[in-house]
A and B are shown apart, each in its own frame.
Chain A
Amino acid sequence: MQHTISVLVENEFGVLSRVAGLFSGRGFNIDSVSVAPTNEEGMSRMTIVTRGDEQILEQINKQLNKLIDVIKVIDFTDGSGIEREMALIKVTAEDENRAEVLRIVDIFRAKIIDVTPKSYTIEATGNPVKVEAILDLLRPLGLKELVRTGAVTIGRGAKGWKG
């Protein structure tokens, strides 16, 4: 089962390798990871999409908490989070395909951010399922290059992570 975990970390030297090393060293999977600074000084936030049964997830949670630089671990598995991902997609667009690409972009409320006579580059944002869906439609037209940010997640409601 897939799980999304947010990890608030001290923005210290080597913190990314500590988290990544924990996953590889203990045989946990990472499907995606994204990391950037937060509004709080010296604090970064990672969103990790991982998979495993309940026992593995409990270990991942505890092991992350055990790292000295980890401030808080939030598990969004119960659907309490809103998930978004961005994809930059370079797709072949020639002749009659050009109109088809535009239609798909329109349906998904995506944007064309670069254009050449032979290609479009698209920016698509949404939850990861939506990103998968637009990719499924564009793939037959010829994907030249794909960059995804991985999911980022925030909790629903008025409360921040501190409660």
Chain B
Amino acid sequence: MKMNGARIMLECLKKEGVDTIFGYPGGTVINIYDELFGFKEIRHILPRHEQAGTHAADGYARATGRVGVCLATSGPGATNTVTGIATAYMDSIPMVIITGQVPTPLIGNDAFQEVDIIGITRPCTKHSFLVRDVKDLALIMKKAFYIARSGRPGPVLVDLPKDVQIAQTEFVYPETVEIRSYKPNLEGHPRQVEKAVAMMLDSHRPVMYVGGGAVLGNAADELTALARKLTIPVTTTLMGLGSFPENDPNSLGMLGMHGAYCANMAMTNSDLIIAIGARFDDRVTGKLGTFAPHAKIIHVDVDPTSIKKNVRVDLPIVGDVKDVLTKMIKQADKLKDKVAEFKTGLASWHGDIAGWKEKHPIGYKNSSTIIKPQFVIQKLRELSDADAIIATDVGQHQMWTAQFFQFNKPRTLLTSGGLGTMGYGLPAAMGAQAAFPGRQVITICGDGGVQMNIQEIATLVQNKLPVKIVILNNNFLGMVRQWQELFFDKRYSSTCMELPIDFVKLADAYGAKGFSTSKPGDVEKMIKQGFKEKGPVIMEFKIAREEKVLPMVPAGAALNEMVLNA
């Protein structure tokens, strides 16, 4: 059947199983919006800012594992998506971003609302397409979704000029797609897997170091099975939280700059690190020269560029983590006697780890007069559903959430790990809630970050998305303030917000509910009250203003040089 480009675009989304998109109208996408009018199969959610729409698509993708989709007009609409795209790119989130573009004859003429969005986003997209002929549109959409979700996932941008949206052609959606220059290697090499298992069984102080790849690759079950089978301790990065249950005795929690003492000590003293879908980020390794000095390294990753980028690797395995872990389990099953012997040999290593856990557990000093943020996080865990989805912003509250919430299931933590984008939490929670209307979705924010996309409360109310917004308010840009306290003689340059915001009134203005307290005794009651509300809620906790995130590895220090109390 003949259709115009705008309609073809929507039909392609339908074919890809897209049920929700986040978009903002404008001059160069008005034809798409005209086709959307009455298009029942796709729910369109109108955020109040394109950046938020992009984060919402990202949150939708992280929570579901499907490709998130957002739509923006040309020029300023397109540039507003850039932070959201870069956020998704750094954390390898599958997304398709559709931008309107000025008509092809005007491209390059500095037309009204024209911007070279392909050029602007080139370094922060996995790939991008400018559609110049409506006949190419269906194939490009097919390729865009395939590229976004396969291999190491990532955002793909499709720039769609207005005249291409109007032009008509026959709509045929390709059944399959073949790109001769793009063939991600998904199957781990069996010989390498055999060698890896042999190395594991020869080790005495092994650690599994697990990143976001285990979550993205849906490999939590396989990871948990292998770690439990071999009783190897597991530490995760911020992005890896949830891939291995933190209530498991072999969990070391998060490692790195604000990681657990036991995790960082285990890495430093290990003789074998098994890195799974992790990329040895500087926030994880600390000073590279002293990182894991005694350890051999096995590195499993679907992206060959992650391997040997920052650290030497003794055994690389390129492949999908789920495939590699499954093969490792099978291989270990063939070596039952060796495995039994290996497990017995780990007793002293487990003893060391238990000692470190006991010596410096993640903790804080509670107070009966002032609310400690860590206490709020613990109460949130206690009172929320087991499958609740938590979206954080970036800063102190993000680290406290990582340290104290205890994540036991994959895809329950949505957080901007790589780019560290303030303003991410609220719109990401919105995207997750749109995907799972029946689940509890909570965003934990600071008073700084929440104000970067605060306008989205309107979207929540309008679309009946009952996100619970927790604000840990210290009236500071707390993480930077903490650095200023520790490393800049308490010169609090521009980190005090000064003007206090009445978040209860603000919630009211948007038609949401708002609660606030500064009393530790009211914390539990208020959380229960907030969770009971049917609609979106702001829960503001006025917390100890100068509470710090500890432990901390100062930037550039070695992992075992942690500041434990300051």
Q: A: which residues have CB within 8 A of B?
A: 9-10, 13-14, 17-18, 21, 25, 55, 58-59, 62-63, 65-66, 68-71
Whether A21 lies near B304 (C-beta < 8 A) is: no
Asked if B534 CB lies within 8 Å of chain A CBs, one says: no
Cα separation A30 to B181 with both chains bound (whole Å): 23
Residues 98 to 131 of chain B near chain A (Cβ within 8 Å): 118-119, 122-123, 126-128, 130
Known A-B contacts: A14-B130, A55-B308. Give 7 more (CB < 8 A).
Answer: A9-B181, A10-B180, A13-B130, A14-B128, A66-B304, A66-B305, A68-B126
Q: B: which residues have CB within 8 A of A?
A: 118-119, 122-123, 126-128, 130, 132, 147, 179-182, 303-305, 308-309
Nearest CB in chain A to that of B181: its residue = A71
CB distance from A46 to the nearest CB of B (A): 13
- 11 A-B pairs (CB sep. < 8 Å): A14-B118, A14-B128, A17-B119, A21-B122, A25-B123, A59-B305, A62-B305, A68-B126, A68-B147, A68-B182, A71-B180
* Interface Cβ pair total, 8 Å cutoff: 39
Question: Which of A9, A62, A69 has the most chain B CB atoms closer than 10 A to its own CB?
Answer: A62
- B130 contacts across to A, CB distance below 8 A: 13-14
Cα separation A21 to B128 with both chains bound (whole Å): 14
CB distance from B231 to the nearest CB of A (A): 34
Nearest CB in chain A to that of B130: its residue = A13
- A14 contacts across to B, CB distance below 8 A: 118-119, 122, 128, 130
Whether B305 lies near A10 (C-beta < 8 A) is: no
Nearest CB in chain A to that of B307: its residue = A62
CB distance from A51 to the nearest CB of B (A): 19
CB distance from A70 to the nearest CB of B (A): 6
CB distance from B182 to the nearest CB of A (A): 5
Whether A68 lies near B181 (C-beta < 8 A) is: yes
Say what secondary structure dominates the interface of chain A. Answer: helix
- B127 contacts across to A, CB distance below 8 A: 68-69
Whether A10 lies near B181 (C-beta < 8 A) is: yes
Cα separation A144 to B128 with both chains bound (whole Å): 43
Which listed residue, A18, A63, A66, A70, touches B122 by the CB 8 Å rule?
Answer: A18
Given that A13-B132, A17-B119, A21-B122 are known contacts, is A66 also in contact with B181, CB under 8 Å in the complex? no
Nearest CB in chain B to that of A24: its residue = B123
- B182 contacts across to A, CB distance below 8 A: 68
Question: Which of A58, A65, A66, A70 has the most chain B CB atoms closer than 10 A to its own CB?
Answer: A66
Cα separation A10 to B179 with both chains bound (whole Å): 10
CB distance from A88 to the nearest CB of B (A): 31
Cα separation A68 to B147 with both chains bound (whole Å): 8
CB distance from B43 to the nearest CB of A (A): 30
Whether B181 lies near A59 (C-beta < 8 A) is: no
Whether A70 lies near B304 (C-beta < 8 A) is: no
Cα separation A58 to B182 with both chains bound (whole Å): 19
CB distance from A124 to the nearest CB of B (A): 35
Whether A66 lies near B303 (C-beta < 8 A) is: yes
- A70 contacts across to B, CB distance below 8 A: 181
Cα separation A105 to B305 with both chains bound (whole Å): 46
- B123 contacts across to A, CB distance below 8 A: 21, 25
- A65 contacts across to B, CB distance below 8 A: 304
CB distance from A55 to the nearest CB of B (A): 7
Given that A13-B132, A65-B304 are known contacts, is A59 also in contact with B309, CB under 8 Å in the complex? yes
CB distance from A157 to the nearest CB of B (A): 24
Cα separation A65 to B182 with both chains bound (whole Å): 9
- A55 contacts across to B, CB distance below 8 A: 308
CB distance from B444 to the nearest CB of A (A): 33
- B132 contacts across to A, CB distance below 8 A: 13
Cα separation A17 to B118 with both chains bound (whole Å): 10
Given that A13-B132, A14-B118, A21-B123 are known contacts, is A58 also in contact with B180, CB under 8 Å in the complex? no
Whether B179 lies near A58 (C-beta < 8 A) is: no
Nearest CB in chain A to that of B118: its residue = A14
Shortest beta-carbon contacts, A-B, top 8: A71-B181, A68-B127, A62-B305, A62-B304, A68-B182, A25-B123, A21-B122, A66-B305
